[in-house]
A and B are shown apart, each in its own frame.
Chain A
């Protein structure tokens, strides 16, 4: 496979160029976002005047400040002194919403979604891939359910479950479930099929067939599905938290408020940037974790 691909530059050069591009862009942004100190923005022509404000493009050092404030938000304000600040970061600090705490809550939600939705999805995919009758009866229903975006359900789910833990988790579980089914299904039906025939001919059956043939053959596909599900789970978690929840990184991004009027408070771009960068890093780390664990689990696959 490797021979067939186009040549790639050596690893060291890739890393160096990538690093250079990040440093260059951050430096350029720092200069641009601090330009308002040097030039009076009100003298500039219209579109630039609107953009070159710290309320729109927060200077890099302010983003860093917001990061420090959010990380320390749990300890900073001594109990008793209650200063009401109307802005985004002030409100968060007041509620003692910390960056790490929010990330932890969201990560927990993502993991629950993956654990519950993932195992249900794998189970459904296995059954559908294994038995043609199940496939023919269940697949149409699955397609109908898959078509509904999980976040469209939250208003309805809230009526059934009330506003609480289950209400927040259900859309995430649902999203992961619908994503994991198809790769598992294809892994079992298309890939394992040849091996299953061979194993059957050699006299294997039942549990042996499942544990020694079907699951190993399908596992690379299941893992690929789980990696995509991770991205979808984060997306859904952030969406639910922005709309409904009272904590988590999505709540941090919109700075609270009643769910119907969220985002009416003018957001602080520095907080939002901190939240987004944190999300990207955690998402990357979790994906790397699944990738490494997956490579270990499926060492026998030719790469």
Chain B
């Protein structure tokens, strides 16, 4: 097992390292060969580095960090993602669980859930901007909507997949509805809820980037990208993209870890599958 993991790690480092070296070579050649003046629809863009070499990326990263732009943007955008995640899950999970338990509620809500499932959350952005303004609220609500739909479906599916035998056994032993929810439905639905939260987290990041691209204010990653794209300053774009990528990766890793912790009771044998 240990040797297997070591080989995996070694190969991962090798391929990512090879990619990094390749980019380094390509950018060194590219910065000499690629045009720095680009015709863009209506005018020329001056001094564009299509493939910025590592030193200009490093320079840019140091500047963005030292000036506080990047740290503040990261904080603001991450806060939005998590506020949206908390609000959305707070609506989606209870609704999904109760839909799975109450048949009449399910029938009543079903058309609306389907409607929101097939409505791309981003399409709601103009409507939310109109209703809640261009400020914080419309961004967070947009993320919350995307999250709520996904977590609702996850919680619903999780609670529906609880074997009927468990429920009937508990009922015949005299368990109250609250106890059944707490001790049977909730733990059984938890893996699905966590899985849906992980998907929702990815969606939340997609949503926040676009919500921030439109009419945003400065400390935010989406607007950083939009501004850098307008100039255009490729090193800034690259640092922004890498930062978002790393944040998404970090969030996903944490979500996976939480999922593993929350579903530890499911593993019957100590050996990893």
Task: Produce 1/0 per residue, B238-259, CB < 8 A to A.
Answer: 1011001110110010000000
Interface centre among B12, B38, B210, B240 (most CB of A within 10 A): B210
Distance (whole angstroms) from the CB of B135 to the closest CB of chain A: 13
Are A136 and B7 touching (Cβ within 8 A)? yes
Give chain B's interface residue range (CB within 8 Å of chain A): 35 or more
- The 10 tightest CB contacts between A and B, nearest first, are A155-B229, A283-B118, A17-B107, A140-B12, A235-B120, A136-B11, A147-B248, A21-B108, A147-B249, A148-B245
Report Cα–Cα, A66/B164, bound state, in Å. Answer: 49
Q: Can you name 6 extra interface pairs (CB under 8 A) apart from A6-B100, A148-B241, A156-B229?
A: A140-B12, A152-B225, A263-B215, A266-B130, A272-B127, A276-B127
Interface centre among B119, B226, B246 (most CB of A within 10 A): B119
Binding site for A on B (CB under 8 A): 7-8, 11-12, 14-16, 19, 38-41, 45, 48, 50, 100-101, 103-104, 107-112, 114-127, 129-131, 134, 160-165, 167, 203, 205-206, 209-210, 213-215, 222, 225-226, 228-230, 232, 234, 237-238, 240-241, 244-246, 248-249, 252
Are B161 and A234 touching (Cβ within 8 A)? no
Cross-chain pairs A/B with CB under 8 angstroms, 12 sampled: A18-B107, A21-B111, A136-B8, A155-B226, A155-B228, A162-B40, A163-B40, A235-B122, A237-B120, A253-B125, A267-B126, A287-B118
Report Cα–Cα, A236/B207, bound state, in Å. Answer: 10
Report Cα–Cα, A30/B222, bound state, in Å. Answer: 37
Chain A contacts of B214 at CB under 8 A? 242-243, 262-263
Q: Is the interface of B mostly helix, strand, loop or mixed?
A: helix
Report Cα–Cα, A151/B110, bound state, in Å. Answer: 30
Given contacts A5-B160, A148-B245, A163-B41, contact A239 B122 (CB under 8 A): yes
Are A272 and B107 touching (Cβ within 8 A)? no
Report Cα–Cα, A147/B249, bound state, in Å. Answer: 6
From B206, B222, B234, A159 is in contact (CB under 8 Å) with: B234
Give chain A's interface residue range (CB within 8 Å of chain B): 35 or more
Report Cα–Cα, A163/B43, bound state, in Å. Answer: 12
Task: Produce 1/0 per residue, A10-46, CB < 8 A to B.
Answer: 0001100111111001000000000000000000000
